[in-house]
C-alpha cells in the first residue's frame, strides 16, 4: 500500500502546464564508453516526466552555420522544447562554439575515471573556468564509473553525479527524496520500507533522516543493500531477541519506595 501511494506521486501529471525550461550542454573530458547511448537514456528518462518535450542536438551541427543563424536556431528550439541537450561528439576544445556553449543554463563535464588523463582534463576545465560566469553554480561533473573518487580539480560547491537516473531526474527537476524519522524501534521498519521500494523498483535520489533514521539513511546513501543494512541493525541491537528479554530490576524492586 505504501509503495503504491509513493508511486502515485511519481507518475507524470498531464495537468501540469508549467515545466522547467533549460538548455544543458554536455562536454566530454575524455572518451566515455557508450557516451551517445547514455545521453539517449538521459533524454528518455527525463522525457518521461516531460511527455517527450525535449531534444538532443549535436554541437557539431552548427559547424557550417554563422553565429547569428546558430543562435536563431537555438531560439526556435527553445520555443519548441522545454529541455534541450546540446552535446559535443568529440573530446577537445572548440573555441568556435564558445558563445553557443555560454547560452546553456548548465554545462556538464563527462569523464570515465577521475584518475586518468588528469593533465588534459585540467587544461579543459581551466579553459572553461575563465569563460563561464558562476562556474561552480552552472557546471556539473558526471563521473561515469563505479569509481566514485572526487575529481582533484573539482570546484567547491560543484555538483558531482555518479548515477545516471538520479542525474537525469536532477536535470529536469524531478528528483525523489525520502526522509526517515527518528527512534531506534523504527530502524527495522525503515529497512522494511526500503525493501518495499526496492521490490517496486522505486529508486530514491536523496535520502535523509533524524536520529536513528539518519543512521539508516547514511547506510542506504552509501550504497548498502537492504539485506546488509538489516544485518548491521541486528548486530547493533545484539540480536532481535534481546530487546524483548525481560530484566527484573531487583534493587529497585526490594528497596524502592511505593
> Within this chain, do residues 167 and 45 fall inside the same structural domain, yes or no?
yes
Poorest-confidence range of 24-28, 241-245, 253-257?
241-245
What pLDDT score does 198 carry?
Answer: 84
Q: Which three cell numbers stand for residue 214?
A: 539518519
d(CA 104, CA 27): 12
Q: Which three cell numbers stand for residue 95?
A: 573555441
Is the residue at 212 inside a domain?
Answer: yes
Q: Is 143 left (phi over 0), alpha (psi -120 to 50) or beta?
A: beta
Are the C-beta atoms of residues 87 and 54 closer than 8 Å to each other? no
Are the C-beta atoms of residues 12 and 49 closer than 8 Å to each other? yes
Is the residue at 130 inside a domain?
Answer: yes
Is the residue at 252 inside a domain?
Answer: no
Instruction: Give the residue from 139, 171, 203 where a domain finishes.
Output: 171
The band of 15, judged by pLDDT with boundaries at 50, 70 and 90, is low
Is the residue at 7 inside a domain?
Answer: no
Are the C-beta atoms of residues 142 and 108 closer than 8 Å to each other? yes
pLDDT tens-digit readout, 84-143: 899 998 888 888 898 889 889 999 999 887 778 888 888 888 999 888 988 888 898 888
> Within this chain, do residues 167 and 181 fall inside the same structural domain, yes or no?
no
Average pLDDT, whole number, for the chain? Answer: 79
pLDDT tens-digit readout, 61-78: 898 888 889 889 988 988
Q: What is the mean pLDDT of residues 19-40?
A: 86
Model confidence at 16: pLDDT above 60: no
Is the residue at 213 inside a domain?
Answer: yes
| Angle (nearest 5°) at CA 192 between 191 and 195 | 90
Is the residue at 215 inside a domain?
Answer: yes
Instruction: Give the residue from 119, 154, 171 where a domain finishes.
Output: 171
Total domain count, the chain: 2
Model confidence at 27: pLDDT above 90: yes
What pLDDT score does 63 carry?
Answer: 86
Closest by alpha carbon to 67, among 26, 101, 100, 24?
Answer: 100
- What CATH number is attached to the domain comprising 43? 3.40.50.300
Q: Point out which residues pair with 56 in neighbouring strands.
A: 85
Q: Which three cell numbers stand for residue 14?
A: 498531464
Is the residue at 251 inside a domain?
Answer: no
Residue-number span of the structural domain to which 155 is assigned = 20-171
What pLDDT score does 26 carry?
Answer: 93
Is the residue at 10 inside a domain?
Answer: no
Chain centroid to CA 212: 24
d(CA 140, CA 118): 17
> Within this chain, do residues 226 and 166 fall inside the same structural domain, yes or no?
no
Closest by alpha carbon to 2, among 184, 213, 202?
Answer: 202
Q: Is 0.85 topped by the overall pTM?
A: no
Amino acid at each position: 500500500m505504501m509503495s503504491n501511494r509513493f508511486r502515485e506521486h511519481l507518475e507524470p501529471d498531464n495537468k501540469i502546464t508549467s515545466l522547467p525550461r533549460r538548455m544543458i550542454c554536455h562536454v566530454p573530458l575524455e572518451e566515455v564508453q557508450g557516451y551517445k547511448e547514455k545521453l539517449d537514456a538521459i533524454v528518455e528518462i527525463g522525457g518521461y516526466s516531460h511527455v517527450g518535450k525535449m531534444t538532443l542536438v549535436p554541437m557539431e551541427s552548427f559547424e557550417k552555420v554563422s553565429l547569428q543563424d546558430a543562435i536563431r536556431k537555438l531560439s526556435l528550439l527553445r520555443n519548441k522544447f522545454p529541455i534541450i541537450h546540446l552535446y559535443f561528439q568529440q573530446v577537445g576544445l572548440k573555441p568556435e562554439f564558445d558563445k553557443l556553449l555560454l547560452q546553456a543554463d548548465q554545462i556538464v563535464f563527462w569523464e570515465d575515471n577521475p584518475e586518468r588523463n588528469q593533465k588534459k582534463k585540467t587544461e579543459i576545465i581551466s579553459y572553461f573556468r575563465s569563460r563561464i560566469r558562476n562556474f561552480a553554480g552552472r557546471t556539473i561533473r558526471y563521473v561515469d564509473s563505479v569509481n566514485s573518487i572526487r575529481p582533484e580539480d573539482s570546484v567547491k560547491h560543484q555538483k558531482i553525479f555518479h548515477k545516471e537516473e538520479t542525474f537525469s531526474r536532477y536535470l529536469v527537476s524531478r528528483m525523489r527524496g525520502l526522509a526517515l524519522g527518528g527512534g531506534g524501534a523504527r530502524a527495522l521498519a525503515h529497512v522494511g520500507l526500503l525493501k518495499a521500494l526496492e521490490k517496486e523498483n522505486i529508486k530514491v535520489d536523496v535520502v535523509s533522516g533524524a536520529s536513528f533514521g539518519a543512521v539508516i539513511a547514511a547506510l542506504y546513501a552509501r550504497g548498502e543493500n537492504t539485506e546488509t543494512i538489516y544485518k548491521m541493525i541486528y548486530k547493533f541491537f545484539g540480536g532481535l531477541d534481546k530487546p524483548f528479554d525481560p530484566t527484573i530490576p531487583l534493587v529497585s524492586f526490594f528497596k524502592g519506595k511505593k
